[in-house]
Amino acid sequence: MDWDNARIFLAIQRVGTLRGAAEQLQIDQATVGRRLAAMEKSLGARLFLRTPSGYVATPAGELAISTIEKMEQAADQLQRQMQGIDERLCGVVRVAATDTMAKHVLMPAMQQLYAVHPNIRVVLTTSTQVSNLTRREADLAVRSLRPTSPDLISRHLKRLAVGLYASRAYLERLGMPQPGNALAGHEVVIYQRAVSSTQIESLCGESIANARVTMEVSSGLMLIEAVAAGLGIGELPTHIGDAEPQLVRVWPQRSEPYDMWLVLHDDLNRTARVRAVADTIVAAYTQLTENQPT
């Protein structure tokens, strides 16, 4: 079976449209259609039904999924193993993190990396979604949750903390909140449920049942901007909130700890360029000052 056709089949199955598969694979839509037709002809079976809501696998297509996914896993493993013996300090390294981590920690770290290894090109993806390292969506990921997959190596970077912050203008308008009354008479900015379900109920252990939610955001940078704009009290990493001159720490005694992890696939641990990027990120978190105990 032609692997190029097979990977196009998987892309269509995962996104449901020819256009979406083309965008994911960075090829044109007509090529996707031709490849699918060629695969169906070679197998002598129709793999998808074309429905108004998208492409849906037929029974033959469903049967093909598990076999082709095994091909994908084998191809990915071979690529990782080949990278694992690559000792060149050049080439591409894909890094995944949230936009907040990228701005406040990774950007300065990558600046240092470039000064030492200018031939390493970092492809940085910022998202709240967890990138799949096994499928090579990223080579390295900086995460606040430790993965459980035995194929992944996790290195503890730092124990940090979040605290409550508000803008000076907000506190002039509504005053400092009183602990224990579920932020009655106050306004809050929180993450959307898809990003963090815990903030729907409380911030730093304080219920927000009596507060008015003025905005829900999908990223850390937008949360910082919303709090700085005076839209409400928000839960921010203390190493970021303390450094923002327009913000005031609400209830400095209140904080919630969290851990940061650097994650990479075991097959890439011996790749020189990946190790160089990983070591730079580790050093950046080691140097990161934090008021909470590590």
Residue 9 sits in a domain whose CATH number is 1.10.10.10
**Domain final residue, candidates 45, 78, 111:** 78
pLDDT of residue 135 exceeding 90, the answer is no
Residue 230: which domain range?
Answer: 160-257
pLDDT of residue 78 exceeding 90, the answer is no
175 vs 168: CA distance, rounded Å: 9
Sign, CA torsion 189/194/200/205? negative
pLDDT digits (tens, 9 = 90+) for 138-153: 889 999 888 888 878 8
Any domain includes 294: no
Any domain includes 83: no
Residues 147 and 270 in one domain: yes
The CATH number of whichever domain residue 113 belongs to comes to: 3.40.190.10
Counting residues of the chain whose pLDDT is more than 90, the rounded percentage is: 56
pLDDT number for residue 103: 94
Total count of domains within the chain: 3
CA 272 to the chain's CA centroid: 23
**Domain final residue, candidates 55, 78, 101:** 78
Contact 242, 180 (CB under 8 A): no
DSSP state of 151: T
Residues 220 and 272 in one domain: no
18 vs 91: CA distance, rounded Å: 31
Residues 167 and 149 in one domain: no
Please state the rounded mean pLDDT for residues 197-203. Answer: 81
159/61: higher pLDDT: 159
155 vs 142: CA distance, rounded Å: 10
Any domain includes 45: yes
Residues 150 and 169 in one domain: no
pLDDT number for residue 95: 93
Torsion-angle region of 185 (φ positive above 0: left; ψ -120 to 50: alpha; else: beta): left
Residues 10 and 138 in one domain: no
pLDDT number for residue 294: 32
Any domain includes 69: yes
Q: Is 142 helix (H, G, I), strand (E, B) or coil?
A: strand
Any domain includes 293: no
pLDDT number for residue 281: 96
pLDDT of residue 186 exceeding 70, the answer is yes
Sign, CA torsion 127/133/134/136? positive
| Across 95-109, 126-140, 241-255, least confident range | 126-140
Residues 170 and 244 in one domain: yes
Cα dihedral 84, 87, 92, 93, rounded to 10, equals: 60
